[in-house]
Structure 1
Amino acid sequence: MLIPDGFPGQRMLVLPRPRVREFQNQPGTAGLIVTDCGYFPRADLHGRRRTQPVGQAVVMACVDGSGWCETEAGRFPVNQGQVVVLPPRQPHAYGADTNNPWTLWWFHAASREVEDFLTAAGMTTENPVRRPRDLYPVVSLISEVVSWMERDTTTTSLNAAAGAAWHALTLLASERVRGDEGGDVIEHATAYLRAHIADRVTVPELAAMASLSTSHFSALFKRHVGYPVLQYQTMLRMSRARELLDTTSATVAAIAAEVGYPDSFYFARQFKKVHGMTAREYRDQHKG
């Protein structure tokens, strides 16, 4: 038997659905709304089985104990330090472990933007469990969500809760999924590229450092980062070039060399391709 709530010491807020609809129809507030949130300590027998999908994403951070979740892709264990993200409009189930029930901070968030964001970030029914390197920032943000929702249901409070919820989702989007292949390898590779912006670093060299074939490494890199290796390297170099153009009086040729382009003409072509203007035109813009 699974029970949805009623645990000693729990905190739980459910926004009246008429207020949800009112908030979603207000100008400027349709991006995200937290509809439900709470804290369930040692939630023995806690769980839900939703065969009729709900319109909210469900986010649950397990700070102690363990449990499980199910989607159409299968059943997934959930351990201390992990976060479950269940997309909206999909049937799902979840529950606390019988012998070691979980303690959860959680919220439900609704909006079309949330659904699209989760899909783009890979937080899908196939990968519902995240494992943040540091759970504390995520839990702190969910705690902030709960505190704002406890305060009142004014637009100010709901906006503040929505901001904290968005922040939590963006942190989770930057983390690896449970059992994700090659996450540490790619983190090391991106850190190496950031530390060696001006150096000539090839894809085969990075793959060799990771003891992987070039093709396998390239595929992993694009899956984790979202861009091919050389395009990511160009992004890093152009970011540093913009910083130098904005904060120094160095010549374009000197900046080109500092960010890894000994051929200043090639740098000029790359800069214009990325920015739609020359480096000098960029420097002359009014910014800030």
Structure 2
Amino acid sequence: MTWLSMVVSLVDMDEPTIVTDDDGIREGFAGQRMLVVPRPTADKALRHPVTGRLLVTDAGYFPHAARHGRSRPNGAAEHILLVCTGGAGWCTVDGTRYTVSRGGVVLIPADLPHAYGAAEDDPWTLWWFHFTGTDAPDLARAARTAAGGRVTHLRDPAPVASLVSQVIDALDSGLTVSAMVHASGAAWHALAHVIATGRRSPGSNLSPLERAVQHLQETTPRRTPVTALASMVGMSQSQLSSLFRTQLGVSPLQYQVQLRMARARELLDGTDLPVAAIARETGYDDQLYFSRQFNRQHGMTPTAYRTRPLDT
């Protein structure tokens, strides 16, 4: 059995077709799904303002994929995301062989030689997609930076697997612009989730950034000075601030403001508390200062936010 299997080929405005081997026998794994966007259609989609930034060219789901394996001595034309939700497998990149278990995520940059496959005794269940576009290199680089290596680990792979499933469903619905944009959005969300929540290995302790974020989440709305936060996680203030900006896109103080503002929105939407009480609940003794901070974050005052028209 080869790793290649039933391929659903999506053609512009046509129904999906199933490709079989030369003998007309479908190959693959029971319950699998695999979709490939035809090259001419992918080339056209890369000229679209949205899918040109991030385009999924192949996607699939291989349950209990016994004897699954792939070797690409010259790499692939696209970046590849592999997510293991059960069993185990392996991946060789840059001459290093990694073990991939449940929750393991492998992100392989385009054009990089690699090989991967399922473990013989407990073959993995794999969700995956190939992606390209102008933003793809930055996303792949950010994922590697967050993981600290080629392989990262998710405590719970289900959210990312669900997003890959959405990618597959979108492509399976037909090759329309909206379907491909939907697939791109789900893929972006999946990659962002890996970047935000991945860690080095299944048994590793929380990273300094994870410990800092966990502390801020657990102590909101109380404000923690950056010097104290850095000391808690064994880093200098400048190192921690750089880590926040690199991986979260904001400073530690800005992240704390975001957490407090998120709590403020919950209270504005879900309670009848007056604005002064909400300010105190979110760590602001001065209601006017709270209102200015809220307006800076949301472009409206807390009162305007509470009375805004809601979509039905």
Instruction: Place the TM-score, normalised by the shorter chain, in its bin.
Output: 0.7 to 0.9
Partners of 1:158 and 1:231 in 2: CA distance:
34
Q: 2:256 aligns with which of 230, 233, 245?
A: 233
Corresponding position: 1:193 with 2:192: no
**Shift in Å, 1:22:** 1.8
Which residue is 1:175 aligned to? 197
Which residue is 2:110 aligned to? 88
Q: Deviations over 1:238-282 (max 9, x none)?
A: 66678889997646xx876654455789x58x949x66x9x97x9
Partners of 2:2 and 2:91 in 1: CA distance:
15
User: Aligned ranges for residues 135-174 of structure 1 at < 5 Å?
Assistant: 135-174=157-196
Partners of 2:140 and 2:196 in 1: CA distance:
11
**Shift in Å, 1:115:** 1.9
What are structure 2's unaligned runs of at least 5 residues?
Answer: 5-26
Do the aligned residues in 1 keep the contact of 2:2 with 2:28 (CA within 8 Å)?
no
TM-align CA RMSD: 4.1
Do the aligned residues in 1 keep the contact of 2:221 with 2:259 (CA within 8 Å)?
no
Partners of 1:61 and 1:124 in 2: CA distance:
16
Q: Number of residues paired by the alignment?
A: 280
Which residue is 2:7 aligned to? none
Partners of 2:61 and 2:228 in 1: CA distance:
48
Q: 1:112 aligns with which of 103, 115, 134?
A: 134
Instruction: Calculate percent identity across the aligned residue pairs.
Output: 36
Q: Secondary structure at the match of 1:174?
A: helix
Alignment TM-score, normalising by the size of structure 1: 0.73
User: Aligned ranges for residues 1-288 of structure 1 at < 5 Å?
Assistant: 3-5=2-4, 6-9=27-30, 10-72=32-94, 74-122=96-144, 127-179=149-201, 183=206, 186-187=209-210, 189-203=212-226, 205-206=228-229, 212-213=233-234, 215=236, 219=240, 222=244, 225=248, 227-237=250-260, 250=275, 259-260=282-283, 262=285, 267=289, 271=293
**Shift in Å, 1:15:** 1.6
Do the aligned residues in 2 keep the contact of 1:86 with 1:125 (CA within 8 Å)?
no
Partners of 1:147 and 1:200 in 2: CA distance:
43
Instruction: Give the 3 Å change call, closer, same or farther, for CA 24–99 of structure 1 in structure 2.
Output: same
Partners of 1:196 and 1:17 in 2: CA distance:
51
Instruction: Give the 3 Å change call, closer, same or farther, for CA 245–73 of structure 1 in structure 2.
Output: farther
What are structure 1's unaligned runs of at least 5 residues?
Answer: none
Q: Secondary structure at the match of 2:82?
A: strand
